[in-house]
Structure 1
Amino acid sequence: MRHLLTGLANVVLLLANTLILIGPLLLIALGKFVLPGQAARDACSRGVMWAAEFWAENCKRIFALLTPTRWDIRGNAELRQDCSYLVISNHQSWVDIPALVQAFNRKTPYFKFFLKQELIWVPFLGLAFWALDYPFMKRYSRAFLEKNPHMKGKDLEITKAACEKFKRLPVTVVNYLEGTRFTPAKQAQQQSPYRYLLKPKAGGVAFVLAALGEQLDAVLDVTLVYPDQQVPGFWDLLSGQVAKVIVDIRTLPLDPTLCRGDYENDPAFRQQMQDWVSALWQAKDARIADLRHDAQP
């Protein structure tokens, strides 16, 4: 009963926080379309970011008030809001997003996610995602692409267009290289060579680097670990059943050569990018094993 009441209280407070702030956020976002001049539109973009950060900070306060979750955040002390970052993270649960909020809100520019297109229909949040210029990606099956080859590469076109919007202000772009949440079933289906990860996809991050390379100050290699044996769901977090979340952040220098190649048309560069991603993923898999081992009583 205690977990149920905790979860319901969290839902009520988080919903109230969203309903109170969605109006001002959308009103400011509307200014991006009706106000003349790029300076005015950029000011509206900053206003939208401020509203989103305020909303996220309230969410952090709600979780701190009602849940016992310990957020073990490592490596974010030197981050700055006037810099731009590319965040590369593993992805296991809907709890990953609150974990990133805990680690980065008001430490870096408010982050941008590449989202499934279906999320635009989520009540209230879909409008907020639109106002925040989150790119919506539509996934196509291999069978669909074989029948409709003209749709191949559409996600990469969306990535390019989204990154053009990000160039005028500091930004934190979050990229889940696995493309989907980790599950043992997906791991087996992929025959993933990693113990705790799915196979990474290099194409999306290659286009982000190509579009924003000169603007980015660093790559943030984020490793999310849930020390309990079972990966928690979002309700587990809301109901106070997540004891600890580890957010391990490594700040990596950006190799300029990764920002200058043609991933689509240059096989040598494509291999270089894939090798870089594979090395990151091998190190991350080992890092997860170490963090899980160290967290055991």
Structure 2
Amino acid sequence: MKNLLPKLWIFVAAVLFLPLLNASEYEYYSWKPDNYGRNPQCMDIPEDLRLCFNVGYKQMLLPNLLEHETIAEVKQQAGSWVPLVHKACHPGTQVLLCSLFAPVCLDRPLYPCRWLCEAVRDSCTPIMEAFGFPWPEMLNCDKFPEGDVCIAMNTTNSDDMDTAGVSSVCPPCDNEMNTDVILEHMCASEFAIKTKIKEVKIDNLDRKIILQKRRKPVKLGTLKKQELKKLVLYLKNGADCPCQQLENLGNNYLIMGRWVGTQYILTGIHKWDKSSKEFKKALKKLKSHKCPTYEALFK
């Protein structure tokens, strides 16, 4: 996984914890005493825990701060958040998530600072909403400490990095021809089709996408064939952000979407390019690829 975080420093509130730290990219403040749960174990962060491998320390505690008791459960739940880290909506996203999914090995729980949670929430919520997901209750920032010892980013670096790496492109229009990116878009979607775009209209803060009549299903999911014929998609909050694909209406596209509220929203759009090895590889994997369970996390 690409390292999207700036270098951070460690500060320890009490010398007592210095020998226990294995991290090099965190800043530590105080915490409220609590328990990790029964029989906490310190273990190496496995390489296939993509969200937190190489996050800045090598070992984590189980059960974690989200009450996951097995590493299999951690991997399954944490996988849903990898795409958000890739979007680079805030440099502290991985710090926040890994402090909960893979807490550093200490003898007491150390929660993220409330201000860090709020900063990540405010920066990343628009990205999540673009894919039809609200900020989840499991990350309710009000339950994290304000002044006690907590995990934070180094403020000097984070101020400099707040906008670094953040693209102004509409999130579903990220057209990187990469198998993992395409599959990540698919995992945030309910269906995928091959089609051309007839017309794009501005509809308040959204863009309304009217498709050509010829629509070939790639993966219908919950979408019925009758619904496919009438399908109109909306790019949420996409009236002003760039989307190159919606300006080139002559091409065939792999279009992905899902039903949110009263609309079908666009969750991914990639040029249908069979000359691309990455695209062909993604198409092969689409039907058999096992996605993380987004619904369980974001409802």
Shorter-normalised TM-score: what interval? under 0.3
Q: TM-score, normalised by structure 1?
A: 0.24
* Larger strand share, 1 or 2: 2
* Larger helix share, 1 or 2: 1
Q: TM-score, normalised by structure 2?
A: 0.24
Q: Which has the larger radius of gyration?
A: 2
